[in-house]
């Protein structure tokens, strides 16, 4: 056979493959989502997410320190809200002495270099489990945006570096940017969940925070009136471009692996950094298969996260960040 070009020449051994490798995964790409709960010296396993825990603040601070030493420089915070603090307004979310605000202050004091990205959404604080305020049986967009701005400013005051609104309300990025500017928080960034789909892959997460929509006749049974229809891609592009115009510093696409086409399409259209979330259902599936011996845990984690980078992501939110960091460091 006479061939001038043989692609396999560049696959001959590991050293050559490394030289021509197009995509590289490092600890700098990782963001760790974490769940904070009330109490002291408390740690509760989340059964559907092996290796993931709800932690009281004292234990969470220690975990952040340990992971920072591994090279994980950013955390994404969620709060497990006590039932007695939930209502339809979400007012606990902007309580300056609330658990989320206290957590941000404690982590920033203990690990000043870590980037803190708190979730901005009302569902953990809502008696209905929705990301918005219910009025006349519907999610009211504009009153919800007002509440989210209050929450965002409160989190910025506590020391948040980047706000991560995950609610999917219309106009909330612009309103939040204006609120931050007016209150002197010009350096606080916004990571907008621009294309967050109404996905079946969120189940374990909602169990972890007890934030699933309640089953009540007078209110929506799901989040499809504000999260995106998973059949659509052009709509995701529209959402991302609008959020960039409104002042978003980073664009989030969620979930991850089932939506790599969306990541790739948006990467071609914007210059802003793109974040991708390996959501709880994705994580749980990989873990379940690995525990049954069907997949190699370490290899599928690295391969799946590398696929996000290859599609165009700049950062990856993953519950596997600590073990992936250890694999990369070794």
Residue 171 to residues 30, 63, 94, 138, 150: CA-CA distances in angstroms? 28, 35, 19, 17, 15
Q: Is 223 part of the annotated catalytic residue set?
A: no
Q: Is the dihedral of CA 148, 150, 151, 155 positive or negative?
A: positive
3 state DSSP class of 215? coil
Neighbour tally for 246: CB within 10 Å = 18
Torsion of CA 63, 69, 73, 74, to 10 degrees: -10
d(CA 272, CA 234): 18
Q: Is the dihedral of CA 218, 85, 58, 187 positive or negative?
A: positive
**Binding site membership: which residues?**
239
Q: Which of 196, 223, 265, 287 is catalytic?
A: 196
Residue 119 to residues 70, 100, 107, 190: CA-CA distances in angstroms? 23, 9, 15, 11
Q: Is 55 exposed, middle or buried (0-12, 13-18, 19+ CB in 10 A)?
A: buried
The number of residues making up the chain comes to 330
Q: Is 196 part of the annotated catalytic residue set?
A: yes
Q: Which of 254, 265, 287, 309 is catalytic?
A: 254
Q: Is 11 exposed, middle or buried (0-12, 13-18, 19+ CB in 10 A)?
A: exposed
Q: 57-70 and 99-110 are packed helices; what angle lies between their axes, rounded to 10 degrees?
A: 40
d(CA 139, CA 147): 13
**Binding site membership for Mg(2+): which residues?**
239
Find the DSSP H helices in the chain. Answer: 14-19, 57-70, 99-110, 141-158, 172-182, 203-209, 234-245, 260-267, 280-291, 297-311, 321-329
d(CA 116, CA 85): 24
Active site residues: 196, 254
């Amino acid at each position: 056979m006479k061939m001038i070009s043989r692609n396999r020449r560049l696959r001959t051994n590991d050293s050559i493959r490394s030289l021509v490798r197009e995509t590289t995964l490092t600890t700098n790409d990782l963001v760790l989502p974490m769940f904070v709960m009330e109490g002291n010296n408390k740690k509760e396993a989340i059964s559907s997410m092996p290796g993931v825990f709800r932690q009281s603040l004292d234990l969470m601070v220690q975990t952040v320190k340990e992971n920072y030493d591994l090279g994980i420089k950013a955390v994404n915070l969620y709060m497990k809200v006590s039932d007695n603090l939930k209502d339809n307004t979400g007012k606990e979310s902007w309580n300056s002495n609330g658990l989320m605000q206290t957590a941000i202050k404690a982590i920033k004091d203990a690990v000043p270099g870590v980037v803190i990205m708190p979730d901005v959404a009302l569902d953990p604080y809502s008696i209905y489990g929705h990301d918005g305020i219910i009025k006349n049986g519907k999610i009211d967009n504009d009153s919800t945006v007002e509440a989210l701005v209050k929450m965002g400013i409160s989190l910025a005051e506590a020391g948040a570096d980047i706000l991560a609104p995950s609610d999917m309300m219309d106009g909330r990025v612009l309103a939040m940017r204006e609120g931050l500017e007016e209150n002197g928080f010009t350096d606080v960034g916004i990571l907008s969940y621009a294309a967050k789909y109404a996905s079946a892959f969120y189940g374990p997460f909602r169990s972890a925070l007890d934030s699933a929509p309640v089953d009540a006749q007078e209110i929506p049974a799901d989040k499809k009136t504000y999260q995106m229809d998973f059949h659509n891609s052009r709509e995701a592009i529209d959402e991302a471009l609008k959020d960039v115009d409104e002042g978003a510093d980073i664009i989030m696409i969620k979930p991850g692996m089932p939506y790599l086409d969306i990541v790739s399409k948006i990467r071609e259209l914007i210059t802003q950094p793109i974040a991708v979330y390996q959501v709880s259902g994705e994580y749980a599936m990989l873990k379940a298969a690995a525990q049954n011996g069907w997949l190699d845990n370490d290899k599928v984690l690295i391969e799946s996260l590398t696929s996000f980078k290859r599609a165009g992501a700049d950062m990856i939110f993953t519950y596997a960040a600590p073990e992936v960091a250890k694999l990369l460091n070794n």
